[in-house]
Structure 1
């Protein structure tokens, strides 16, 4: 009899047409197939809902003996170049677990519900079966509280995004709140897209307003970038990227900036305070 902590997730082969996925798949197969148990895409790339705001979400399941290998680091560097050509404002790299982590799966790191909407790009099989054993103690609250604390710190210091890179990072955090909030309140993971409808009724219209604005900006995402900015922002070198994203990222478009008024930030803090009282 299967315990409540055991899950089998069946991940179908990627069936989309995004060139980035094809390039990464070929890179894995040609040079790094021995490094990985599986390479998986999730988020909008997996569900074929890519829009201009979309970045690349991918999970590496690394064979244990290659976790600290030069081969893995080289793959990450090569694939990151590809990711940054797809989205110069990409604000994270690969998600990564070890093959042995399947026997103690970090549900609070990447929920099973997210894996259920993912697609496999390596190995090339019609359905990849992952037999997972979830960790017994999952601390959903920690990630949520850390994020809320960060919003409070920004408010206290009157921090606001100064360019499109900083804005995209902040808005992505805002849009993650419903998912993290649901997980804490229900002690269960949820696919981010489904979390909005699942928790919206818990909030007043003013409390929910930052989520609505962030979602609208995501749907109408736009920025202008010249050739020099593009060249810098597509460099995977850590130091160059740190400088580029801080000083050379594109300006926030005026039609987006006007939506992020004082009311947006005020209501964001109202939402933060409400959640902190409840959790």
Structure 2
């Protein structure tokens, strides 16, 4: 990780975080106090104002406290755990999802930055040791970026039913509607491109577990992007459950198969090859290097154990999604 002149935490080998910093630097100068409401949101021509709340207690989630051990040493960080680890619905497919809000003025020296970076990497490696196939690390934003926030990076709705380990349980933000819409469209196009690339490997029966998890996750993320582009503030889970409202019956079968694969993911891990591979994170201290290793050397995905994703249905899924994008 590297340090810039503004005492920013910039991971040197994490492309999505680098993209975040570059994307939001231009928004930093637009400072205007706002309120953000989870239920009663206010909308102007350019912004909407909502409050997001973390509602789950961390007292009974001992695993989470151990994974983030040492967070008390960094009071400039607000830490939130969301998704299946927070609502206790996690499966063998589940990633550990966090959101870290950094108070920029709470970091005074380069040495403090390096300490935070080192701690973040240690926690990220714990993610990898829990799930050797987890393909992302931390989600990080700066507190002042909430004053002109591009919600395509991380919708603050995820804080509903989340755990607040440290910091305020309420996050106030001013969401830039236009930037969010542009970002969602970009995310959707990139996700479709990822699906096309991973599916080529899948067709050839040459896809490994790491890439297959990315493929399944990409399919299941698309409905949330589509609903959000239509102006609906929805969770990923809700979007998947209601995807039949935006896709034809034949195309919706792709999402049903991916949901089945996610639910039965443990079958893919029940091999000696994966058991051996699971040891590999112990030999790494850099999570970014580890993920490059995992992407290349993860065991092959056992296609024969799961339902088949048919090319005709996948092509139709991609086309119907592109049609939705063009509708706007």
Q: Quick check: 16-25 or 198-207, which moved more? A: 16-25
Contact 1:35-1:72 at 8 Å conserved across structures: no
**Aligned partner of 2:176 among 94, 116, 135:** 135
Q: How far, CA to CA, are the matches of 1:99 and 1:230 in structure 2?
A: 36
Alignment of 1:10-159 (within 5 A): 10-15=53-58, 17-29=60-72, 31=73, 33-36=74-77, 38-65=78-105, 66=107, 69-123=113-167, 128-137=169-178, 138=180, 139=182, 140-154=184-198, 158-159=200-201
Q: How far, CA to CA, are the matches of 2:114 and 2:240 in structure 1?
A: 40
Partner of 1:7: 50
Partner of 1:272: 318
Partner of 2:248: 204
CA change 1:213–1:92 in 2 (3 A) is same
Q: How far, CA to CA, are the matches of 2:121 and 2:150 in structure 1?
A: 25
CA shift for structure 1 position 77: 1.2
CA change 1:274–1:17 in 2 (3 A) is same
TM-score by length of 1: 0.85
CA change 1:241–1:255 in 2 (3 A) is same
CA change 1:187–1:243 in 2 (3 A) is same
1:253 aligns with 2:305: no
Partner of 1:170: 215
Q: How far, CA to CA, are the matches of 1:136 and 1:195 in structure 2?
A: 20
1:36-66 C-alpha deviation (Å, 9 max, x unpaired): 1x10011111111111111100011012144
Contact 1:233-1:241 at 8 Å conserved across structures: no
1:143-186 C-alpha deviation (Å, 9 max, x unpaired): 1122123334555xx332621111111111110011011112x2
CA shift for structure 1 position 90: 0.6
TM-score by length of 2: 0.73
CA change 1:214–1:226 in 2 (3 A) is closer
CA change 1:190–1:226 in 2 (3 A) is closer
For residue 246 of structure 1, give the secondary structure of its aligned residue in structure 2. helix
Q: How far, CA to CA, are the matches of 2:132 and 2:62 in structure 1?
A: 16
Q: How far, CA to CA, are the matches of 1:73 and 1:132 in structure 2?
A: 25
Task: Structure 2: give runs of 5+ residues left out of the alignment.
Answer: 1-33, 36-41
Contact 2:210-2:294 at 8 Å conserved across structures: no
1:108-137 C-alpha deviation (Å, 9 max, x unpaired): 1111322223221113xxx71211111242
Q: How far, CA to CA, are the matches of 1:176 and 1:216 in structure 2?
A: 15
1:217 aligns with 2:261: yes
1:68-89 C-alpha deviation (Å, 9 max, x unpaired): 8212210111101211222111
How big is the alpha-carbon RMSD for the aligned residues of Structure 1 and Structure 2?
Answer: 2.5
For residue 134 of structure 1, give the secondary structure of its aligned residue in structure 2. strand
What count of residue pairs does the alignment treat as equivalent?
A: 266
CA change 1:240–1:144 in 2 (3 A) is closer
